[in-house]
Amino acid sequence: MSSNTPLRGIFTPNIVPLDTRGEINEPELRKYVDWLIERGVHGLYPNGSTGEFTRFTVEERRRIIEIIADQTRGRVPILAGAAEANTRETIKACEHYHSLGVRAVAIVSPFYFKLTPAGVYAYFKEIADNSPIDVTLYNIPMFASPIDVPTVQRLAEECPRVAAIKDSSGDLPHMMRMIAAVKPVRPDFAFLTGWDAALMPMLLLGCDGGTNATSGVVPEITRKLYDLTMNGQLDESRELQYRLLKLFDAMLFSAEFPEGFRAALRLRGFTTGIGRQPQSLVQQKELETLSDQLQCSLAAEGFTDQPVGGCPVGDSVDSDHVARIVQTVVGELKKRGMA
């Protein structure tokens, strides 16, 4: 993979399949990589939030990248999540992933401690000055210290290695402010959105692509939405964006993230295993209900059969139920500083 392949299109943040002992399920992960590439995603994005990077050990995170790089064999570019405990460890990860031929790393802003813009700047500056590989800033203010526009602009100006930002805030004017601030000084800089609910308008306003969790479950739809939008087929892409929003909301808000995506991936035929975050009995019950609803949604899109009990006529998802849940969870997220 040439080091100046543009970061463009849909990069899939993959779930990591686990086996019955809770270990990385390597054969299934390899199968999943092939499946994704065959369905047209433009790139892979392991060790993102969907990939639950914080729940793996440092050795496991490395192994995930090694497996995926080996299996991909250059067919698509890889954006490798590389955040470790501190800048020294992170730079080591950058070096290792560089040696594996990944296209770039993605580094989430410092989390747990909530840093000021000055601290966020200093953190990325030290990494960018020492990384042998392009760095994508990863802004996800619901989980980590926010990266504000002036910080992005300054890093883009001072650090040639900082080549892109992945922004999961879903805040469209924020994305536009970044594009307006950075593009004039760094025309090569790439802007990726991590918020599937706004993929179409983000692309229309200048984003280069997305790292979208839905593309790990319904890559056919996410890819098609990208193509339709880039082709200017507005009516078709609008209609598809509304359908994707429904799937996204159902998977994102109906269970503790990323359990909804894991459940949906199972419906696509993968052995995903049980996640590492324990689920209470109530949560397990809810997940079963969700799984049936997701199966109806996926069946309506032609990706699976209907569940044994059948699906409600008309709307495949119980929209009211999901809408209530979305409100509650969006409220929760807002409470905790997001959205």
Task: Find the part of the chain contacting a copy of itself (CB under 8 A) among 93-101, 266-274, 297-305, 322-330.
Answer: 322-330
Pairing of strands 9-12, 43-44: parallel
Task: Determine the Cα–Cα distance for residues 121 and 124; give it in Å rounded to an integer.
Answer: 5
Is residue 64 a contact residue for a copy of itself (CB under 8 A)?
no
Choice between 112 and 309, CB closer to a copy of itself: 112
- What are the C-alpha distances in Å from 164 to residues 19, 37, 160, 271? 34, 22, 10, 33
Is residue 156 a contact residue for a copy of itself (CB under 8 A)?
no
Is residue 233 a contact residue for a copy of itself (CB under 8 A)?
no
DSSP string over 60-102: HHHHHHHHHHHHHTTSS-BEEE---SSHHHHHHHHHHHHHTT-
Is residue 110 a contact residue for a copy of itself (CB under 8 A)?
yes
Is residue 150 a contact residue for a copy of itself (CB under 8 A)?
yes
14, 44 Cβ separation under 8 angstroms: yes
DSSP string over 153-215: HHHHHH-TTEEEEEE-S--HHHHHHHHHHHTTT-TT-EEEE--GGGHHHHHHTT--EEE-GGG
Is residue 20 a contact residue for a copy of itself (CB under 8 A)?
no
Other Cβ atoms closer than 10 A to 261: 23
Choice between 37 and 84, CB closer to a copy of itself: 84
Is residue 131 a contact residue for a copy of itself (CB under 8 A)?
no
Is residue 285 a contact residue for a copy of itself (CB under 8 A)?
no
Choice between 1 and 204, CB closer to a copy of itself: 204
Task: Find the part of the chain contacting a copy of itself (CB under 8 A) among 24-32, 159-167, 186-194, 242-250.
Answer: 242-250
Applying CB under 8 A, which of residues 11, 257, 261, 270 lies at the interface with a copy of itself?
257
Angle between helices 259-267 and 234-253 (to 10 degrees): 110
Choice between 100 and 149, CB closer to a copy of itself: 149
Cα–Cα nearest to 158, from 193, 119, 126:
126
CB of 249 to a copy of itself, least distance (A): 7
Task: Find the part of the chain contacting a copy of itself (CB under 8 A) among 81-89, 155-163, 186-194, 293-301.
Answer: 81-89
Is residue 312 a contact residue for a copy of itself (CB under 8 A)?
no
Applying CB under 8 A, which of residues 123, 191, 226, 261 lies at the interface with a copy of itself?
123
